[in-house]
Structure 1
Amino acid sequence: MPLWKRNLFVCWFGCFATTAGMSLIVPFLPLYIQLLGVHDTAAVERWSGLAFGSTFLMSAIVSPIWGRIADQRGRKLMLLRASLGMAIICSLMGFAHNVYELTALRLLMGSVSGYIAAAITLVATQTPRDHAGWALGTLSTGTVGGNLIGPLVGGYLAEVIGLRNVFFATGLMMFVAFLITLFLVKEAFKPSKKASVPWREVWRMVPNPRVVVTMMASTFVLQLAMMSIQPIVTVYVSQLTGPSRHIALIAGCVVAAAGIANVLAAPWLGKLSDHVGPQRVLVVCLVIAGLVFIPQAFVTSPWQLMGLRFLLGLASAGLLPSINAIVKRSAPEALSGRVFGYNQSAQYLGNIGGSILGGQMAAAFGIHYVFFSTAALMLLNALWVFTSTRDRHNKHRAVPHPSV
């Protein structure tokens, strides 16, 4: 097996393990906060939001910093740092005495995270150009799969072994990711002088900064659009079903439908992008995703919503992997860690902004308008990507882009 492919599979497991570990605590975080002495419902909700969102906010801040160090010291080192750091901190959460310690540890978790960004950078720089789309698409399924499995396993483990023990189990899972990364990932890293340039000089060294900035903005818009739906899914399902004891289960199936479709389609769309170009796949998937959002506002049953969410998952499977493939082609290899770090920050900020925007818009205008606004964001983003990458795509077809 080629080295790049073995590293891909190891990084896939690492992304799956760390993402599943991060999402394991989602179902019972409010219950754990109550266990720590917070009993007022409003206070539990407030602290749950702070503890959950603080990790992503801190990750958005530090991602470019870790990206720069990855360019200077190597990507494997960042994989080891992130997996071991998260294993230790997550285990410490099981010993928290109060909500302040828990929130502080969640902040610290965000500051040492970065496994996924480092994995994307390692895979993108090691994979041959004609296999980059497939490799990045396959890698993304680890993250999506972890997000799917994590909450299900977390809720089950909380009932079987107790809330605190889930943190220890999560830490163990992340430590396993550390061990397989330590012994199986191979990287012959040679630092470049370019890796030490100040951040203001980075954009001068990027052959086409307009394309890279467009991809980062697209990442933010994509996550903003996708996450804006998450806070309202359960409420929307309850409106469609009426009184039912199975609302949580049905809502979980609706959310999972998109993730399952994403896992199934991402490698295939990645391989397609290797043949026709990631720009084309990205634009087409943006248009399809935007159009699929519209009928979701008019469904009359949760099963219709589930079917449309499955179609959305098929389309969204080609989005972030295509963006990463375009960034790989557009950024010098010596600066890829920093550039992917900026892109990861945009993704985290989109997650935070989308969660806030969706709930506020639904409260102010109604749930249906969230779907309309999300569709508009996706279609406008498709137009922007098309106009920004068209000249670049045509140039690439005429003259192959030299590797840096």
Structure 2
Amino acid sequence: MVEKRLPIWQRNLRVLAIAVFIAGIAFSEVMPFLPLYINTLGHFSHQQLNMWAGLVFSGIYFVSAFVSPWWGKLADQKGRKLMILRASLGMAIVLAAMGLVTNVWQLFILRMTQGFFAGFVSNSNALIATETPKEKSGQALGTMASSFTAGNLLGPFIGGALASLFSYRVTFFITGLLLLIAFFLALFFVHEDDFEPVTNKKLESSRGVVATLKNPRLIFGLLLTTLIIQAANNSINPIVSLYVSQLMHHQGNVVFVSGVIAALPGIATFLAASRFGAIGDRIGTQKVIIAGFTGAIILFFLTAFVQNSFELGILRFLIGFTDACLFPQVQTLLTKNTPAMITGRIFSWNQSAMYIGNIFGPLLGSTIAGVSSYSMVFIITAGIVTLNLLLFKLNVVNSLD
């Protein structure tokens, strides 16, 4: 009996789910030790180290925030597969080069260069969103989100282990190799046979794209939600390993513990993302998002008062459940309210909003840590999430009613 050949969208989904899983590992495995790597590139005071940690974390996003809409426009005109290949190959080279730097300025410049090639995951999602039948889009995008989250889950643990076994520099070389594997997977196994380039002159301008939207207020409300979600989450990233070091009184294997704690939110998100997506389909995605905001506010506030790394790990694990309620569900609402012919552009705008949040988040967190304390970072982050909840109700929930 001859096995029935899977539809092309399902075949692409399987390949790209593996590719974004690998990319998730590559993007996240350097994060636990990045501030510690910076500390090996010079002699820095506490305030200088926090400043450079914020700049290096944000460097990739300064460039990406501006170039993503251009890449999104090209994706709609030339194809999403081409953008996937461009992003994976470029970042493979740049990430490997980070293992060769001799000072913090070189690392910062390479992070910005990485930003120019960014867009692997967003273009993978756009390709899947445009090729998948509408009634299957939530499930397909949920699979992509779970795969990327699983990669992010393993990445910090793998990165911490590799840095402990080998060195920071070798870990960057391995990261570049992983992205090269993702490049070849997309090159040989992803097919975009049904792609129809957008030729409508009206859609060459942002104003034309906005005019095509049935509910622009909803879309822009979701973009703002993405921006603030990312700002809040990334305000924590530059100081996690430093916070762990403080809680451990600068003793023990700080790199490994930091990697484990950084991985814990991903475990919860991976376990819960698809389930929360299914719940959202039944009761309304916006209700799941509101629940996520509420939980995040409580957990961020409590994290400011932990006494040891074990308590920090528990709360970071729980914050992963709130993450599962937020960004994947925002993408679901965007997909269901965006015409297919401008999906690449809208996804790129969402990517830019994410990058802008990634710029301000680490800078905010490192600045607060430098002038106050690590605990204050979590308190202010709780306040930012509260603001996001209020804006989401005003701009999105009211538009859906």
Q: Normalization by structure 1: what TM-score?
A: 0.84
Q: Is the contact between residue 50 and residue 370 of structure 2 (CA under 8 Å) also seen in structure 1? A: no
Name the amino acid aligned to 1:209. Answer: P
The Cα of 1:204 is off from its aligned counterpart by 1.9
Q: Does 1:86 align with 2:94?
A: no
Q: Does 1:147 align with 2:164?
A: no
CA distance in 2, matches of 1:352, 1:92: 22
Task: Spell out the pairing of 1:39-118 with structure 2 (5 A cutoff).
Answer: 39-41=42-44, 50-93=55-98, 102-118=107-123
In the other structure, the counterpart of 1:400 is none
Q: Is the contact between residue 57 and residue 362 of structure 2 (CA under 8 Å) also seen in structure 1? A: no
Name the amino acid aligned to 2:363. Answer: I
Alignment partner of 1:189 out of 186, 191, 195 = 195
Task: Spell out the pairing of 1:353-368 with structure 2 (5 A cutoff).
Answer: 353-368=360-375
CA distance in 1, matches of 2:242, 2:109: 31
The Cα of 1:48 is off from its aligned counterpart by 6.0
CA distance in 1, matches of 2:306, 2:170: 41
The Cα of 1:181 is off from its aligned counterpart by 1.1
Q: Secondary structure at the match of 1:190?
A: coil
Alignment partner of 1:127 out of 126, 129, 132 = 132
In the other structure, the counterpart of 2:13 is 8
Compare 60-69 and 183-192 and name the one that shifted more. Answer: 183-192
CA distance in 2, matches of 1:131, 1:285: 24
The Cα of 1:221 is off from its aligned counterpart by 0.8
Q: Secondary structure at the match of 1:245?
A: coil
In the other structure, the counterpart of 2:224 is 217
CA distance in 2, matches of 1:33, 1:236: 16
CA distance in 1, matches of 2:129, 2:259: 33
Q: Structure 1, residues 281-310: CA drift from partner, whole Å, max 9, x if none?
A: 212222222233233334444433322222
Compare 120-129 and 39-48 and name the one that shifted more. Answer: 39-48
Alignment partner of 1:393 out of 387, 391, 400 = 400
Q: Structure 1, residues 170-223: CA drift from partner, whole Å, max 9, x if none?
A: 332212111211222222101233474212332222111111111111111111
Q: Secondary structure at the match of 1:41?
A: coil
Q: Does 1:21 align with 2:26?
A: yes
Q: Does 1:255 align with 2:262?
A: yes
Q: Is the contact between residue 51 and residue 367 of structure 2 (CA under 8 Å) also seen in structure 1? A: no
Task: Spell out the pairing of 1:264-343 with structure 2 (5 A cutoff).
Answer: 264-343=271-350
Q: Is the contact between residue 137 and residue 318 of structure 1 (CA under 8 Å) also seen in structure 2? A: no
Cα pair distance change 1:372/1:160, threshold 3 Å: closer
Q: Is the contact between residue 125 and residue 328 of structure 1 (CA under 8 Å) also seen in structure 2? A: no
Compare 246-255 and 319-328 and name the one that shifted more. Answer: 246-255
Q: Structure 1, residues 203-256: CA drift from partner, whole Å, max 9, x if none?
A: 222111111111111111111111222334345445655574255544443332
Q: Is the contact between residue 133 and residue 322 of structure 1 (CA under 8 Å) also seen in structure 2? A: no
Cα pair distance change 1:6/1:291, threshold 3 Å: farther
Q: Structure 1, residues 354-394: CA drift from partner, whole Å, max 9, x if none?
A: 11212323444544443333223223322322232334434
Name the amino acid aligned to 1:132. Answer: S
In the other structure, the counterpart of 1:227 is 234
CA distance in 1, matches of 2:372, 2:49: 26
Cα pair distance change 1:61/1:19, threshold 3 Å: farther
Q: Secondary structure at the match of 2:196?
A: coil
RMSD: 3.1
Cα pair distance change 1:21/1:367, threshold 3 Å: closer
Matched length: 392
Q: Does 1:351 align with 2:358?
A: yes
Name the amino acid aligned to 2:122. Answer: A
CA distance in 2, matches of 1:7, 1:169: 25
Aligned-residue sequence identity (percent) comes to 39
Compare 268-277 and 179-188 and name the one that shifted more. Answer: 268-277
Cα pair distance change 1:385/1:52, threshold 3 Å: closer
CA distance in 2, matches of 1:228, 1:324: 21
Q: Is the contact between residue 51 and residue 106 of structure 1 (CA under 8 Å) also seen in structure 2? A: yes
CA distance in 1, matches of 2:36, 2:367: 24
Q: Is the contact between residue 89 and residue 109 of structure 1 (CA under 8 Å) also seen in structure 2? A: yes
The Cα of 1:146 is off from its aligned counterpart by 2.9
Q: Structure 1, residues 152-186: CA drift from partner, whole Å, max 9, x if none?
A: 33344456566555444333221211121122222
CA distance in 2, matches of 1:46, 1:370: 14
CA distance in 1, matches of 2:107, 2:82: 27
CA distance in 2, matches of 1:162, 1:358: 27
Q: Normalization by structure 2: what TM-score?
A: 0.85
The Cα of 1:60 is off from its aligned counterpart by 1.7
Name the amino acid aligned to 2:280. Answer: S
CA distance in 1, matches of 2:128, 2:299: 31
The Cα of 1:274 is off from its aligned counterpart by 2.8
